[in-house]
Chain A
Amino acid sequence: MPAEQQVVLASGGLQLVGMLYRAEDPRATFVFCNPIFEERKSAHRALVESARAFASSGFNVLTFDYRGCGDSPGNFRDFAPADWLVDIAAAIATANTLTDASASGLLGLRVGGALAATAAADPANEVSCAVLWEPVTSGVRYVDQELRKKLTKEMVTLGKSKVSRTELIAMLQRGDEIDFDGYPFSSRLYNGLIEVDLLEIGPSISSPILIASVVHQNRQPPEAARLVDTLPMATGMVIVQQPFWNLTGYTDCSSLIDRTIHWVKDKYTDGSPSGDLQ
């Protein structure tokens, strides 16, 4: 098994907690960007398995928790995507310092995918390659889906949902906080999330990018297809699999991991764009 080392990285005056998975003769180092809310917990095992598989395939991986999330210090209610982008930049810098690999890639899931794409669009981060697993392409739509999750949970618990999405959004817009699965969903987080629009930032990402759709049918969803069309060096991939970031039990993610690593290896072998992996 590749060497694994707990690391601490400084960002925003906080000491964030991470884990470095070292490869032998690494070709590049990847920083993993987590989802948020319960999706982060549900995806944890899959992301650890992925990090180990990447390391075994010749890629260092740095995983870490954003400020206010997981093992890192800070209160979730105080932070927003802009803060987590600073954390990602700090993680890239830390990864470069701790490893000998010259290239940095990003892998992000859901909101982490949106953050990874945004970080990749910033030339200062010098991201050589990005992998987006079922990325949030529209923050407005994501928030709408998350609020629907809240209504569904209320329905199961209470028989009927008690508030509407319109009422919840009105609360967030006037600066109130709402409870979301035990997470304080702040007005600031809401305002940061609804700004996410990958179709808008897509054209400014010049590095190779893999967009993996994890779906119930072997067909690329329209919004993923639009994103692939928008990004200059994007490849689309479809994986028929349960949405592991929504589930509490174990989900076999080997197909997603193996096909992702296959694509990544291709990028760092000759640098040429690969064909569509659908």
Chain B
Amino acid sequence: MSDTIEDRMKRMIVERLFMRISPEQIDSNKSLIDEYSVDSVSLLELVVGIEEEFGIAVGDDDFDVAHFETVNALVEFVNTRL
């Protein structure tokens, strides 16, 4: 079975941010900032990661915290761009 966007997103987050948890341990509904200590520098790392992993461009207008609050929000954002 192929990876879902959600799986790929979680794996990318753990790898890029050197998180000491497994991708499966990330709760897709929980705040990345409040729950997983993702700060502004980490968010930029995620922007670059999303662009490389999914081959989409994140424009300046997309720098809206609503897109980056949770894994679910990120998945929804990517789905609208694919």
Footprint of B on A, CB under 8 Å? 145, 148-149, 151-156, 159-161, 164-166, 216-217, 242, 246-247
For the complex formed, measure the closest distance between the CB of B82 and the CB atoms of chain A, giving whole angstroms. 22
CB distance from B42 to the nearest CB of A (A): 9
Q: Say whether A242 contacts B60, CB under 8 Å.
A: no
Assuming A149-B44, A152-B63, A156-B65, what are 8 further A-B pairs, CB within 8 angstroms? A152-B40, A153-B40, A155-B64, A156-B39, A156-B40, A159-B65, A216-B18, A246-B41
- Which residue from B18, B33, B39, B47 sits with its C-beta under 8 Å from A148? B47
Q: Is the interface of A mostly helix, strand, loop or mixed?
A: helix
- Does B41 lie within 8 Å of A242, measured CB to CB? no
What size tier do the contact residues of chain B reach?
Answer: 10 to 19
Closest to A161 in B: B63
- In the bound complex, what is the Cα–Cα distance between A164 and B58 (angstroms)? 12
Given A155-B64, A155-B68, A166-B60, the answer on whether A217 and B40 have CB atoms closer than 8 Å is no
Cβ contact within 8 Å between B65 and A216: no
Given the complex of chains A and B, what is the CA–CA distance between A242 and B16 in angstroms?
Answer: 8
**A154-B63 contact given A216-B15, A216-B18, A242-B18, CB 8 Å threshold:** yes
A-B pairs under 8 A by CB, number: 47
Report the separation of the CA atoms of residues A165 and B40 in the bound assembly, to the nearest whole angstrom: 17
CB distance from A252 to the nearest CB of B (A): 11
Which among B61, B65, B68 has the highest number of chain A CB atoms within 10 Å? B65
Give which listed residue, B16, B18, B41, B68, contacts A149 with CB less than 8 A: B41
Given A164-B60, A165-B60, A216-B15, also A149-B40 (CB < 8 A): yes
Chain A residues near B60 (CB, 8 Å)? 151, 161, 164-166
Are the C-beta atoms of A216 and B63 separated by less than 8 Å?
no
Q: How far is the CB of A42 from chain B (nearest CB, A)?
A: 9
Complex interface: chain A residues within 8 A of B44 (CB): 145, 148-149, 152
Residues of A within 8 A of B64 (CB): 155, 159-161
- Docked Cα-Cα span, A154 to B41, in Å, equals 12
A156 touches B15 (CB 8 A): no
- Please list 26 pairs of residues, one from A and one from B, whose beta carbons are closer than 8 Å in the complex, sorted by A's number: A148-B44, A148-B47, A149-B40, A149-B41, A149-B44, A151-B63, A152-B40, A152-B41, A152-B43, A152-B63, A153-B40, A154-B63, A155-B64, A155-B65, A155-B68, A156-B43, A159-B64, A160-B64, A160-B65, A161-B63, A161-B64, A164-B60, A164-B61, A166-B60, A216-B15, A246-B41
